[in-house]
Amino acid sequence: MLTGPIPDLIDHRKLANQQREFNGSVPVSSLPRLGEALADDSGDVHLEIAFSRSELGQTRITGTVSASVSLVCQKCLNPYTQSLKSSLQVVVVPGEDALAALDDDEDGFICGEDHLSLVELLEDELLLSVPMIPRHPAACPGAEVQNKADPGEASREDDIGGDTYRPFAGLADAFKKADKDQT
């Protein structure tokens, strides 16, 4: 088992033949695409992965990838910390034809060469685990303060209550009166 910093490029076939395992971390700042979705790029991505061979002789990578990242809540627009965790089960394939031939329950990663960018693979997995609409898991901590600070917000909430104007509320009574008048 190898521990410590994770190299960017690895020889996946060699590691699969040796059935190697990695435990280590990568700084979030080394994942530029993930960094675009975050409030800041501080912290580390932790991983535990193992390499093996599939039934067809392809490289299989299994394990877990986790990170604690800072996202911007889309409700209150304040940063918050979100834990991301992804279970990794990938078969490395040489091209799109081999990717299409995989079973429905298998995920593939296209790599036509011996060397694979492990950082790119980890980044792909973490991007899939980022919430589409990030927001605090519970109520936003500043939500009560925002509503009291905006007087227009309070009047809109009152309109939704019992004093809401309902333009068609009397329509049923008008139809009943019209029916009585016709009979």
CA distances from 10 to 7, 32, 60, 67, 77 (A): 7, 19, 14, 21, 39
Whether 121 and 40 map to the same domain: the answer is yes
Is residue 109 within 8 A of residue 96, CB to CB? The reply is no
Q: Is 50 helix (H, G, I), strand (E, B) or coil?
A: strand
Q: What is the pLDDT of residue 155?
A: 47
Contacts of 122 (CB under 8 A, 6+ apart): 6, 26, 31, 45, 47, 65
Q: Residue 138 domain-assigned?
A: no
Whether 157 and 69 map to the same domain: the answer is no
Q: What is the pLDDT of residue 156?
A: 47
Q: What is the pLDDT of residue 50?
A: 92
* pTM as predicted: 0.65
Contacts of 131 (CB under 8 A, 6+ apart): 71, 82
Q: What is the pLDDT of residue 64?
A: 93
Tokens of 123: 């980044």
pLDDT in tens, 126-158: 898 889 889 888 888 766 554 444 444 444 444
Whether 26 and 81 map to the same domain: the answer is yes
Q: What is the pLDDT of residue 63?
A: 92
Whether 90 and 20 map to the same domain: the answer is yes
Domain boundaries, position 53: 2-129
Q: Residue 73 domain-assigned?
A: yes
- Ranges of residues in the chain with a pLDDT under 50 are 146-159
Look at the chain and report how many structural domains it folds into: 2
Q: What is the pLDDT of residue 180?
A: 84
C-alpha–C-alpha distance, residues 87 and 62, integer Å: 8
| Pairing verdict, β 115-117 and 21-27 | unpaired
